[in-house]
Chains A and B, each alone.
Chain A
Amino acid sequence: MNTIVISLITLGVLGCLLAVILYLVAQKFKVYEDPRIDLVEAVLPGANCGGCGFPGCRGMAEACVKASSLDSLLCPVGGAATMGQIGEILGMAAAAGDPMVAVVRCNGTCGNRPKTTTYDGARSCQIIHNLYGGETGCMYGCLGCGDCVSVCKFDAIHMNPETGLPEVDEEKCVACGACAKTCPKKVIEIRKKGLKDKRVFVSCINKDKGGVAKKACAAACIGCGKCQKACKFEAITVANNVAYIDYEKCKACGMCVAECPTGAIHATEPVMAVVEKINAKKAAEAAAAKAAAETTQA
C-alpha cells in the first residue's frame, strides 16, 4: 500500500514539474507562424503539383502571405476562383489570370514524319534525347515515348497510338506546366486558352531550312513567312526558319491558317469553322478569276 502511495506522489510531482518546464520552454522558443498560412493552404487544391513554381501548396501559401501583391502569383490548378478566395483571406485584390492550357507544338504524326531509324532502348524521351536526334529525320519534334504523360498529375495528357503524339485533354489540363518542363525537346508550350477556346498556334518547332524540314516532315513549318504577311495584327514572327504566334496579340482570325502551305498552323475547332469560310471564299475568287481570264481570252 505504502509503495503505491509513494509512487503516486512522486509521479504526480514529477509530472507537474515537467509540465511547467515544458510550458516555459515552449514559451521561450515559440516560433510565430502566421495563422493565415493555414487558411490559405486550406483553399489551395492540395495537389502539390508545383505548377505555381513553389515546392508544393504549403510553399505557395507561405509565398502568398509574404507577398505584397498577388499579381505575380497564380495557382494554375485552382485558377482565378482560388486566387479570389486567397485574395479575400489576405485582403488583397487577386489578378484575374487568363486561363491557360498545354499545347503540343509538333504535328509529326506517323504519316507526316516517316521513320528513318528504329530505337529499341529504354522507353524514355530523355534517354533518346541524350543519345541522338530521334527516330525520324526531324531532330526537333516529339520523340513519342511519353515522358510528359508520366509526369502529369491530372491525367490530362495521353499518347495517341495512331499519331504517336501526345494529346492534351483540355477539360482536365490545369496548365501546371509539368509536362512542358519535362519534355526534353521543349515541344509543349503553355498558352492562353483563348476566348471560347479559340486558339491558333504553329504546331512545329523545326529550325531546319525549309527544304530539309519539309523532307523530314510533311507538316513542318518551312519558314516561308506567308502567315506573317497574312496576319493583320502583327502576331506572327518568323525566326530561325520557324514561325511563332504571340498569343497576346493573336485574335484567332484564322487568316494565317488558310495561308500556310504545309498545314503547320493548328487551330481549334471554333477557329476552323472560320477558316473553312475563308477557304471557300478564296476558292470562289480563284474560280471567278479563272473564268474572267477565260472570257478575256475568248
Chain B
Amino acid sequence: MRTFRIGGLHPHDNKEFSAHKAITDVALPTQAVVPLAQHIGAPTKPVVAKGDKVLVGQVIAEAGGFMSANVHAPVSGTVAKVDSIVDSYGLPMPAIIIDVEGDEWLPEIDRTDNIISTIKAEPKEIIGKIQAAGIVGLGGACFPTHVKLSPPPGNKAECLIINAVECEPFLTCDHQLMLEHGEEIIIGIDIICKALGIDKAYIGIEGNKPDAIAKFEELVKKAVNHVEVVPLKLRYPQGGEKQLIDAVIRRQVPSGALPIATGAVVQNVATVYAVYQAVQKNRPLVDRVMTVTGPSVSNPGNYRVRFGTSLNDVIAAAGGVPEDTGKIICGGPMMGRAMANTNMPAHKRTSGILLLPESMSTRREPENCMRCGKCVDVCPMGLEPYLLSKMGDMRMWDEMEQHNVMDCIECGCCLYTCPSNRPLLDYIRMGKATVGGILRARAAAAKAAAEAAKAEEKK
C-alpha cells in the first residue's frame, strides 16, 4: 500500500467508539442560530430581517464575493434577530437567529431517497449550482468548493482525487457516509469530473476501512469516468491535500504553490456527497454528518445535524458530557481546537465533537529541547519545528519566513511526537499568523506602489 513520502506518524486511531454506527438525525432545535461566517474568505451579507418568514433551503445571507459561500436557512420559521453571538472561542460572531416553526422546505428541493444518476447539467451550470448551494470543503478547511473547481488561468486540472482518508483519530463520519451513501458519492464524482472536463478520478482510502474499500471497488464499475480506488497505508496526516496528492499520484506540490500546480483537484467525500445533493436534488448545504465521540461518551456515534443546532444539544443526543471530561474539542484530536464555549451552533466547519477525559487532554510540563530531531523526522512538510518554534519564541519573524514557516500545515505531528513536550506548534502558529500579516502588508504595499507608478505614467 502507498503513502506519502516525507514525515508523518501513526497515532492510535481510536475509531472503535463510533465506527459503523448508523447516521442518526439530531432533533431540530427550537431556535436555530446561523453564523454568517462559515467558510474561509469574505463574510456573507444577511438578506433577511427580523420578522421575515423563511423556509428550509432559502438563502438568508448572500456571498460577499467570489471567495465566499451563500448561507441558507437550515430550519423553517421566523427570523428573530440578526445579532452578535459568542463563538466557541469566546469571541463575538455575527449570526442570524431563527425561531423554528415546523419543518417546511422550499418546494424545488427533492427530499426523496431516489437516486438520480443521469447528469443533465452542463459544466457551467454545475459550478453555478454548487456556488448557489453554498458548498464548502467539508473536510475542515471550508474553502468554497466552486473556487476550487474553477482552476486559475494557466493551470489545468488533469485528475480528481477524492479524500476519503479520514486520518484524524476518533472521527468516523466520512467512513459511515461512504458506507451509507456510496452510490450518490460515485455520481458526485462523475458530476465533478464533468465540471472540470476530465475523466480520471482516484479515491484515496486508508487501510483501516476495508469495508469501504471493498464497497467502492464494486461501485466504481458503475461510474461513467475512470475511477480508481487507491488503498493507502495508515499514516497521519494523509488527509492533508499535499500529502494525499503525493500518496496517490506521486507528485509534490512546490512550496508556496497551489495544489492545482500538480494537475490534481482534491475534494473530500462529504463535499462530493453535498455536490450530488446540490446538483441532482437542488438541495443546498443545510446540514452535515458529524462524529460525536470520546472514550467515556455513553452514546458515541455519527449524527446528522442541521446547522444552527447548539452543540450542547448535539452532545446531549450522544448522552451528555461525561464526568471526567477535560476538554471538548471541535474536530479531531490532532487538528481540532478545544472549545471555551459549547453553546455554539453547529455549522459547516464542525466535523466532529470530541469529549476527551482529563487524563488524555492535559498537556505535560514542557522541558528543554534536547535536539533529538524527532520533530524534524515527522514533519510532513520537511520543516524544522524545533528551530521555528524557538524563532517564534524570540519573535524572529524574518528568519521564520526564510525557514518557510508558511508551509506548515499545522498538522501537529511535531508537537505530538516531542519527547520533551515542547509546545512547538503554538509558537509556529503564532509565527505563521504574524508572518502572514507581514506578507499581506508587503503585497498590499507593492500593489499600491505599482498603481502609483501607473498613475504617474499616465500623467
Contacts and interface: CB of A to CB of B under 8 A. Distances in A.
Interface of A: 116-117, 120-122, 124, 126-127, 130-134, 137, 139
B89 to A, nearest CB: 3
Contacts of A122: 366, 393, 423, 426-427
B363 A120 contact: yes
B362 A130 contact: no
Contact of A133 (B90, B362, B366, B426): B90
24 contacts: A120-B362, A120-B363, A121-B363, A122-B366, A122-B393, A122-B426, A124-B393, A124-B426, A124-B427, A126-B430, A127-B427, A127-B429, A130-B429, A130-B430, A130-B433, A131-B337, A132-B89, A132-B90, A132-B91, A132-B340, A133-B89, A133-B91, A139-B91, A139-B92
Interface in B411-448: 423, 426-427, 429-430, 433-434
Given A121-B363, A133-B91, A139-B90, A127 B340 contact: no
A131 B89 contact: yes
B17 to A, nearest CB: 24
Interface string B365-402: 01000000000000000000000000001000000000
Contacts of A131: 89, 337
Nearest to A139: B90
Given A122-B426, A127-B426, A127-B430, A134 B90 contact: yes
Interface of B: 89-92, 337, 340, 362-363, 366, 393, 423, 426-427, 429-430, 433-434
Contact of A121 (B90, B340, B423, B434): B423
A120 B326 CA distance: 12
A124 B91 contact: no
Contacts of B92: 139
A161 B7 CA distance: 42
Most central of B91, B363, B430, B434 by chain A CB within 10 Å: B430
Nearest to A117: B340
A83 B366 CA distance: 47
Nearest to A124: B430
B244 to A, nearest CB: 27
B174 to A, nearest CB: 26
A70 B340 CA distance: 50
A188 to B, nearest CB: 17
Most central of B426, B427, B433 by chain A CB within 10 Å: B426
Contacts of B340: 116-117, 132-133
B443 to A, nearest CB: 21
B21 to A, nearest CB: 30
Nearest to A212: B86
B450 to A, nearest CB: 27
Nearest to A216: B90
Contacts of B366: 122
A130 B423 CA distance: 15
A-B CB proximity, top 7 nearest: A133-B90, A132-B89, A122-B426, A122-B423, A120-B363, A117-B340, A121-B426
Given A120-B362, A127-B426, 8 more contacts: A116-B90, A121-B363, A122-B427, A124-B426, A127-B427, A127-B430, A131-B337, A132-B91
